Each structure stands twice: as structure tokens, then as C-alpha cells.
Amino acid sequence: MSQQFNLKTVFTNEQLQIMYATGTNVVVGKPSDGRSTNVAWQVFKPLQTNLFSWKEEYGIYASAADIRNGATLSQLSNTPIGSEMGKQYVLQDSGRIVGPMGGGYPNAFLLLNQFGMKPYMTVGLHQNATVNGIERIGNAVSAIPALMQSTAVMSPNTTLHIWLQSQVVSNSVVTTITSPITELKFGGNVTEISITYDSATGKFVPVKSGALKSASEPLNYIEPSL
């Protein structure tokens, strides 16, 4: 059974009024393979208290979309959530992903691109989440280019990136990030984190209630990427 992680995010009523007036939403993404977040995994209009949960289960997808800011990652083909890690998969010329098969790496998914209708395909991992009680199925959580006959290596990550931004939608490429990112390191014994938004800094900070299980590790912040 895969481990479940839970994030609680709190806003004041005044903050919500400003966010609604400006069309600002909460954006959640994940860094992957040593690269900065480039996919808006989940975007949602916040409530005063927001509950975000997910399990570390993944599928692989392939998309014809380009990796450019705002591009929707429509999936040409995918494998189901719960696909086996440490194995290799193949995107066939028919557009179908087959596998798992041997030849993989530990703690990673491999996808060999044999789809010949484009010079490269955008590939990555997709993952389910539940946001304020609503299940969101199969949104992309990463995106990298894979040339014809090249193999993409995709390593999952339990770290979350969260920030505020307008004009961004779920399951899309986001390379222009307009506010500070708060980095939340889940994993191991850290399965639940509670944060609140600080308007003065544009960052999220721990809730002062002992609910932050990783309080011994300060939160990391990443400046906007314009």
C-alpha cells in the first residue's frame, strides 16, 4: 500500500477576498530529476482551510504538446496509476505505451520513444490527488522532451512546490513563475504538513500549532522565475 501524504493550507478571509478579486489561485507542482518545477500539477481556488492529499503512485504519459509556458499536456497515451517503478516502458510507433519490461533503473521509470510521427515527444509522470474532497485524476506532474529512439529517465519526488499565481491551469506547462515558491519536503516520517500564507512576504510559513511534522527542517524558498 502506497504511503499517503497530507498538506493543510490556511488563508485569512481578507487574503481570500484579494485572491478572488485578482483571479489568483494556489499552484502545486513537484521538482523532478534535479530540475525546477515546470508543470502545474494542481491549481485550485482556495478556501479558508484547504486539504490536499496524494499517494506516491504514478503512471507514465506521452504528449504531442511542446514544452512552452501555458501548453496543456493532453495525453496521447498513458499507463495506469500504480505502474511499476524500476522498469522500462516503450512508446510504440502506434502511439501505445507498452510494458513493464526489463532494463530499468532503481527508483525510476524509463520510457523509450519509438513514436515516429514527431521529432520528439513530451513525456513524464502523471499522478492523482484529492483537493478539498474532490479527486483529480491523472494530471501530469513532470514533463521532459524525448527524441525519437531516446530513453527518458523519470524519477519521482515527494517534495512539493506551492505558490500563488493567476492565469495558470492544472495539467499545463509553467515556466514563468511570478511569485516565491515554498518548498515542502515530504517523505520518510514527514507525512503531514500545515502551512499558512504570509501576505507580507508572498510565502507560506508553518502553522504555529505543532502540526508541522518537519519543523526541525526550515522551509526552503525559491525566488520567482520570470
Ordered per-residue pLDDT tens for the chain, 226 residues: 688 999 999 999 999 999 999 999 999 999 987 778 999 999 999 999 999 999 999 999 999 999 999 999 999 999 999 999 999 999 999 999 999 999 889 999 999 999 999 999 999 999 999 999 999 999 999 999 999 999 999 999 999 999 999 999 999 999 999 999 999 999 989 999 999 999 999 999 998 754 444 444 668 999 987 6
Predicted structure pTM score: 0.94
Measured CA to CA, the distance from residue 223 to residue 125 in angstroms comes to 25
Name beta bridge partners: 197: 204
| Predicted pLDDT at 214 | 44
In degrees, to the nearest 5, what angle opens at C-alpha 70 toward C-alphas 69 and 75? 110
CA of 30: how far to CAs of 37, 77, 130, 138, 141, in Å?
A: 5, 21, 16, 14, 6
Structure-block grid coordinates of residue 44: 485550485
Residue 62: count other Cβ atoms within 10 Å of its Cβ. Answer: 25
| Predicted pLDDT at 103 | 85
Domain spans of the chain?
4-222
CB contact set of 190 (below 8 Å; sequence gap of 6+): 213, 214
Nearest residue to 2 via CA among 60, 61, 58, 80 = 58
Is the four-CA dihedral 186, 188, 190, 191 of positive or negative sign?
positive
